Structure 1
Amino acid sequence: MRPPALSAVLRGRYVPGAAALQLSDDWQPIADGSGHVGGETPPECAAWWPADRRSELADGRYVLASIHRNGKLLLGRAPSGALPLYWHRGRGGEVAFATTLDTLIGMLPHRPRWSEAGLDEYLRFLDIAPPATVYEGIFALRAGQVIEIDASSAKVSERNGPRPAPPATYENACDEVESALGVAIDEALADTRAPACFLSGGIDSALLCALASRRGHTVSAWTAGFRDPELDESVIARRIATHLGIEHHVLIPDTTALLDVFRRAHIEAEQPYSDPAGLPTRLLFEACAAVADRVLDGTGAEALPGLMPPRWRRIAHDWCARLPHPARRALREGMLRVPRLKDYARMFDFDHACDLYIRWNGFRTDEIAALTGRTADLSHTHFVRSHAALRGASHLMLQSVLQGEAAPDDRLQQAARATGLALEQPFATARLQRLLRSIPEEWCWTPQRPKRLLRDLLARQVPETLWNVPKRGFNINLVGLLQAHDHRLIREHLSHPATDLPLDPVEVTRWRDRFVGGDKRCAHKVWALVNLAAWMHARADSATPSRAGDNATRLP
């Protein structure tokens, strides 16, 4: 049986001068004496810190800590990302680290300030991705990373292992992915009393349900439905579950239920995040946790580049982005004044080419400057760096990375940790990720068949006539939620912007009143302000605001 170790909070401290490592009781020594591990430990971890520091991280749900032979601290985080890991280096070089932010903050001699860089990242992307956090001087380790730290430096390395040679044929690729995914499912559900699977009605989750059922696992399927037919996919999910002969639960939350779960899903989160799907996700986790002990989720399938961004976005990225920013803005403003051309204005409405792949409509850099009183520098963010690293890549790959692995899925991990329901993401296992990335793009997508390979795998299990409909995406009616009960969320959390937010209250009020006045286009921006104000108000004494001119420490 797996140990229930994920509920334990792991923490430690490293003193560089003495090369001393102080750990809490829940860390376990690795068999060969090369370090310590916390969480659910796979057998491979017995040799995780060998002398040659091999590049491959084992799959599992764990974090690791060790003293390198050169006296430096080594911290590692499993590819699954089931356990977070945060760290802070003090002025004397001492490093504190923990698996929750609140625990780490409690280990520090002084309360940290809000991070200007983290705040800017949140306002632009409506989320904060590692290595940044909302606190100055506190950093997060990304899943699958190892970091080497001493008194004055920090060096991060990816431990994803070598990419295998691509399968010989398309049929071989289908067979290998199906086999590897099946093994990952078996490992995820081993010794599980009551397994479950989230079933959105999309291809990824449907394939997980189908393979789990065909391989003998008595999974129950769980779907979040919506009253709005433009958003609801529960009918498709029901068809799939019925064909597979598995128990199916459908949760259809009304507006009141979404409003009531706001505190649990967002205010109590470790960091602010503004994924609107966080509300139904939390409700689904809570309902599922009442009867299941482990649940499968389709996150990670985006490593197989199967979705092509729309044509206008591709043209804007490759050609319009070559124009100077002032010229793009002038063209946009001119087109908006001509009814026949206004639909083309979006091709010039961005600051940087990478903006075209941002998942949600956050604040532009000039709007952030108006809110914060300083120029926003986003060049250090994981999103912008990921885009730069993809120079010359296909649009399939840009879409896969920038709207997949470069965008954190905090709503899932936050809900899993809060409810105690073990989250398993078979697509995200290190072995399967390497296989998926080795497959040629032409096998993953064709104009007539997006997500080609995964579609073909699902068609082996479930007749395509049951599920082959346009995907709507897992989302809520955000405008309706913000307008509900006479703008209840806005009234509760944006009535006192001068005290609840480290932002210009005049600008916050302007955005608030703009939405209340009927401008639905700024819904995501106002939603971000609501989340941030509610989250910060709940932690009014946990940090002090950053002052103008302060420089936050950044990782190289």
Structure 2
Amino acid sequence: MCGFVGFSDAGAGQEDARVTAERMLAAVAHRGPDGSDWCHHRGVTLAHCALTFTDPDHGAQPFVSASGATAVVFNGELYNHAVLRAEVRAAGVALRTGSDTEVLVELYELLGMRMLDRLRGMFAFALHDARTGTTVLARDPMGKKPLYYTCVPDGIAFASELTALLRHPAAPRTPDVRALADYLVLQAFCAPASAVSGVCKVRPGSYVTHRHGALDEIEFWRPRLTPDRRAGRGPGRREAARRFEELFRAAVARRMTSTDRRLGVLLSGGLDSSAVAAVAQQLLPGRPVPTFSAGFADPDFDESDHARAVARHLGTEHHVVRIGGADLAGVVESELAVADEPLADPSLLPTRLVCRAAREHVRGVLTGDGADELLLGYRYFQAERAIELLLRVLPAPRLEALVRLLVRRLPARSGNLPVTHALGLLAKGLRAAPEHRFYLSTAPFGPGELPRLLTPEAGAELTGHDPFTEVSRLLRGQPGLTGVQRSQLAVVTHFLRDVILTKTDRGGMRSSLELRSPFLDLDLVEYGNSLPTGLKLHRFTGKYLLRQVAAGWLPPSVVQRTKLGFRAPVAALLRGELRPLLLDTLSPSSLRRGGLFDTGAVRLLIDDHLGGRRDTSRKLWALLVYQLWFESLTAGPRALESPAYPALS
């Protein structure tokens, strides 16, 4: 894992280019503590900091091809680099190192961008082809690694993180209000937009080319589901389970055996991470795999006993990271103001703490991320199935009234996923399209709330705004999907790719820890997408196929247990440890400096939450995270900070 930056520099002096690269790279130093380097490659400057896993002695970056024509900086790992290395050698290329980066650049010179179909791993990379004067920026199909870019007078600038890109002297610094509106609904700044106007993110499964001042975007992969009406052509349950297990085991093995470094597992005690830990431990008999879990002081959020039981069953080397309110507040106060682009998922806080503790033992960990989206594990999908059935006999208004009646009659509580809260959120989205319901039921702010939240000047920029543009784009050309399938594709579009994977990348890389996700192996994803819904959500049991497969590895209590969810007690934090920060950061004077939010609307949200009248913590959290970032942005570039590395030479 690594961080990188780069920019066009035709006509610039080498010393100026070096200083700019050094300043930008210092902002992502946490992504690569093993060393850094830079190069000027025929009109483009590239710089890189490394967290090495393959051939650390010879795979230093930027890496230049044997021909000298192509230079690359690469963040990620190719899990099938051994297979690709053999193919490259068979084509007559004499490889000089054992690095997967060299395989990438030489494969490009053999196949061009057709090589993307051959890659299996997680990656974001930038390469410069001097033969054509083309700069290429690419991200893996799921978008596990970030990549930002912007046009500058000399051409293009790019970086692994927005914070680094903004240190380029020509980078824009104006907040993007339309992207902010998306964030307030979707919890993240979703590709291709970013928090800053004029700065873009490369979409997952896409690459961007820059040549002679022209930008082009090419999509090489997108998630596609097989319509359920073709279910009769699909495999039976036994055949599907056999093939799924085969692909899952291969996915875990790829991530465990592609490096000599010792790896661990983030173990929540739920089915997904427990299945990953089970296979990982089977691959290393007699060598306990390190596992790590969070132990919350609040019992409504704590799964550490379940994780401990799984660890005992599997025989892993288990570590519990105890997390209290002060620990979570400490991450907010020390990091969010200087962190990268805002993300309104509060589970980033415990993720960061667990990753920081894991880094004391290992350089990388496997996770269970992706199983809920691939195999319909969220309770939301069960609700979507129920909605499909109930709307056949009840009109939407009557169903909505029934849910609201249940909400009023059930007792309120503020723990992890209380029933009343879940039902209330569900009621908000009942009349919406299936692909919108998940977001409307979980959004910090619904689209209809934004005009009251934003100032008139900011709100005027939202004419014609649609937060679901990207969802609609990916649904085009996929007719015949059921409501559950449409909702699954929507959840993958933003919640998985822009929220979950941003959280894991950021939580891990702030700790210089690599996170690997076997459930997001491309072969496994494509197989899961080809299966009928009934093999994933069987009646109202999610992750049905995984439960069948894992029954031989794990205790029944784990296989059958209902998902709790990895969350942080934000409602209590905002009333307690973070109350002073909340009141200061969202004070009228602070908000007026930005001119984006209506001070009266925000004050009402604060008073309601702190006064106990209603839980507005999701809204306040989104606003607090954004405002902390905004204040850092308007403070100006942190150009005078000392770089984390010795000066680039």
CA distance in 2, matches of 1:246, 1:167: 37
**Matched position secondary structure for 2:326:** helix
For residue 349 of structure 1, report the CA deviation from its aligned partner: 5.3
Match of 1:107 in 2: 168
Match of 1:88 in 2: 150
Match of 1:195 in 2: 263
Cα distance change on mapping 1:464 and 1:20 into 2, 3 Å: same
Match of 2:452 in 1: 370
**Alignment partner for residue 449 of structure 1, among 514, 538, 541?**
541
Determine if the alignment matches structure 1 residue 289 to structure 2 residue 359.
Answer: yes
For residue 139 of structure 1, report the CA deviation from its aligned partner: 0.5
Match of 2:53 in 1: none
Tell me the alpha carbon deviations over residues 309-335 of structure 1, each in whole angstroms, 9 at most, x when there is no partner: 367655768998xxxxxx979x87997
CA distance in 1, matches of 2:200, 2:240: 38
1:243-254 alignment, distance < 5 Å:
243-254=313-324
Tell me the alpha carbon deviations over residues 9-67 of structure 1, each in whole angstroms, 9 at most, x when there is no partner: 2313287xxx9751315332346756634235543323246147356151234413244
For residue 197 of structure 1, report the CA deviation from its aligned partner: 0.2
Cα distance change on mapping 1:157 and 1:423 into 2, 3 Å: same
Match of 2:647 in 1: none
Determine if the alignment matches structure 1 residue 280 to structure 2 residue 350.
Answer: yes
Aligned residues: 530
Match of 2:8 in 1: 13
Cα distance change on mapping 1:102 and 1:361 into 2, 3 Å: closer
Tell me the alpha carbon deviations over residues 116-174 of structure 1, each in whole angstroms, 9 at most, x when there is no partner: 12211111122112111100010011333222345355323133699999974433332
Match of 1:309 in 2: 380
Match of 2:632 in 1: 538
CA distance in 1, matches of 2:181, 2:156: 25
**Alignment partner for residue 136 of structure 2, among 74, 78, 81?**
74
Cα distance change on mapping 1:64 and 1:348 into 2, 3 Å: closer
Match of 1:552 in 2: none
Determine if the alignment matches structure 1 residue 174 to structure 2 residue 241.
Answer: yes
CA distance in 2, matches of 1:206, 1:337: 34
RMSD: 3.9
Match of 1:206 in 2: 274
Tell me the alpha carbon deviations over residues 241-266 of structure 1, each in whole angstroms, 9 at most, x when there is no partner: 11111111112311111111113453
**Matched position secondary structure for 1:10:** strand
Stretch deviating more after TM superposition (46-55 or 436-445): 46-55
**Alignment partner for residue 252 of structure 2, among 158, 161, 185?**
185
For residue 210 of structure 1, report the CA deviation from its aligned partner: 0.1
**Alignment partner for residue 107 of structure 2, among 47, 51, 58?**
47
Structure 2 stretches of 5 or more lacking a match?
Answer: 11-40, 48-60, 85-103, 411-419, 638-649
Cα distance change on mapping 1:57 and 1:489 into 2, 3 Å: farther
For residue 438 of structure 1, report the CA deviation from its aligned partner: 2.3
**Alignment partner for residue 382 of structure 1, among 464, 470, 479?**
470
CA distance in 2, matches of 1:162, 1:47: 27
CA distance in 1, matches of 2:66, 2:626: 44
In the alignment, residue 276 of structure 2 is paired with which amino acid?
L
**Matched position secondary structure for 2:355:** helix
CA distance in 2, matches of 1:340, 1:252: 36
Match of 2:218 in 1: 156
- Aligned 8 A contact 1:147 1:156 in 2: yes
- Aligned 8 A contact 2:76 2:121 in 1: yes
In the alignment, residue 256 of structure 1 is paired with which amino acid?
A
For residue 393 of structure 1, report the CA deviation from its aligned partner: 2.2
Determine if the alignment matches structure 1 residue 434 to structure 2 residue 501.
Answer: no
Match of 1:124 in 2: 185
- Aligned 8 A contact 2:173 2:633 in 1: no
Cα distance change on mapping 1:490 and 1:209 into 2, 3 Å: same
Match of 1:134 in 2: 195
- Aligned 8 A contact 1:195 1:218 in 2: no
CA distance in 1, matches of 2:579, 2:314: 42
For residue 509 of structure 1, report the CA deviation from its aligned partner: 1.9
1:392-471 alignment, distance < 5 Å:
392-407=480-495, 408=498, 409=500, 410-447=502-539, 449-471=541-563
Cα distance change on mapping 1:249 and 1:498 into 2, 3 Å: same
- Aligned 8 A contact 1:65 1:73 in 2: yes
- Aligned 8 A contact 2:185 2:447 in 1: yes
1:222-261 alignment, distance < 5 Å:
222-261=292-331
Residue identity (%)? 23
**Matched position secondary structure for 1:56:** helix
Match of 1:548 in 2: none
Match of 1:3 in 2: none
Cα distance change on mapping 1:540 and 1:486 into 2, 3 Å: closer
- Aligned 8 A contact 1:309 1:399 in 2: no
Tell me the alpha carbon deviations over residues 371-412 of structure 1, each in whole angstroms, 9 at most, x when there is no partner: 322253125643454466766423443443333452222221
Structure 1 stretches of 5 or more lacking a match?
Answer: 1-5, 321-326, 544-556
CA distance in 2, matches of 1:272, 1:8: 19
TM-score by length of 1: 0.83
In the alignment, residue 248 of structure 2 is paired with which amino acid?
L
For residue 221 of structure 1, report the CA deviation from its aligned partner: 1.1
**Alignment partner for residue 503 of structure 1, among 581, 597, 606?**
597
CA distance in 2, matches of 1:101, 1:300: 25
Match of 1:554 in 2: none
